[in-house]
Amino acid sequence: MEGQQWKAFLAPYNQAVEELKVKLRGIRSQYELEHSNSPIEFVTGRVKPIASILDKAKRKNIAMEDLEEGLQDIAGVRMMCQFVDDIRFVVNMLKNRNDLEIIEERDYITNQKDSGYRSYHLVARYPVQTIAGEKKLLVEIQIRTLSMNFWATIEHSLNYKYSGNIPDNIKVRLKRAAEAAYSLDEEMSQIRGEIQEAQAIFSRKTDKK
């Protein structure tokens, strides 16, 4: 594909990511309006860079004409939660939306990856309206706690730095860090009630200012 063709190919994916960021951030604002604790802490999104699309297509043996169906994460949205239990809640909320059709789920929380990676992945079909009509695209939504996100972000950059071959001594550290991240989630879940009460008081206070 040439530069202009890539631009045209990626445009609806950009639109999907931008739309979903607004819509999913809206959930948090609605909770804030009602003064209740939001199950979502923050939302990010990105369109996969062309170089990563090409790398992944090569690695998975996907032909260029099959990219739309073969690569499920060209459009990616990430939703961060404070507590592990919020993830299940957010997943159900997404399943009940009528602007998304969930077609696949990957639970890397129950089934942690060997690397130590934990996160809940949903693949959805999402319709964008273009001047040529409606286009249904695949988007990947990753839902994780702040602690899972911290670990994954760092591991991702180390993987990049070492081109996928992280030295063994660092791998061991990362495994330990993954266990620590897991414990952090466990500990926070134990005092969830306390934390949420404190946050509710704090948000009422800052509202008055």
Report the catalytic residues.
Answer: 140
Among 31, 89, 117, 150, binds ligand 0O2 (CB under 6 A): 117
Single out the segment in contact with ligand 0O2 by CB under 6 A; choices: 18-26, 149-157, 163-171, 172-180.
149-157
Site membership for ligand 0O2, residue 155 (CB under 6 A): yes
Secondary structure of the chain in the HEC alphabet?
CCHHHHHHHHHHHHHHHHHHHHHHHHHHHHHHHCCCCCCCCEEEEEECCHHHHHHHHHHCCCCHHHHHHHCCCCEEEEEEECCHHHHHHHHHHHHCCCCCEEEEEEECCCCCCCCCCCCEEEEEEEEEEECCEEEEEEEEEEEEEHHHHHHHHHHHHHHHHCCCCCCHHHHHHHHHHHHHHHHHHHHHHHCHHHHHHHHHHHHHHHHHC
CB of 152 to ligand 0O2, least distance (A): 4
Count of C-beta atoms within a 10 Å radius of residue 195 = 15
CA atoms of 87 and 104, how far apart (whole Å): 16
Yes or no: say if 185 and 151 are a contact pair by the CB < 8 Å rule. Answer: no
Among 16, 152, 174, 178, binds ligand 0O2 (CB under 6 A): 152
CB of 106 to ligand 0O2, least distance (A): 5
Number of residues engaging ligand 0O2 in binding (CB under 6 A): 13
Among 88, 106, 135, 192, binds ligand 0O2 (CB under 6 A): 106
Single out the segment in contact with ligand 0O2 by CB under 6 A; choices: 19-27, 28-36, 114-122, 129-137.
114-122
String of contacts with ligand 0O2 for each residue 24-53, x by CB under 6 A: ------------------------x---x-
CB of 76 to ligand 0O2, least distance (A): 6
Site membership for ligand 0O2, residue 171 (CB under 6 A): no
Residues that bind ligand 0O2 (CB under 6 A): 48, 52, 56, 73, 76, 106, 113, 115, 117, 121, 152, 155-156
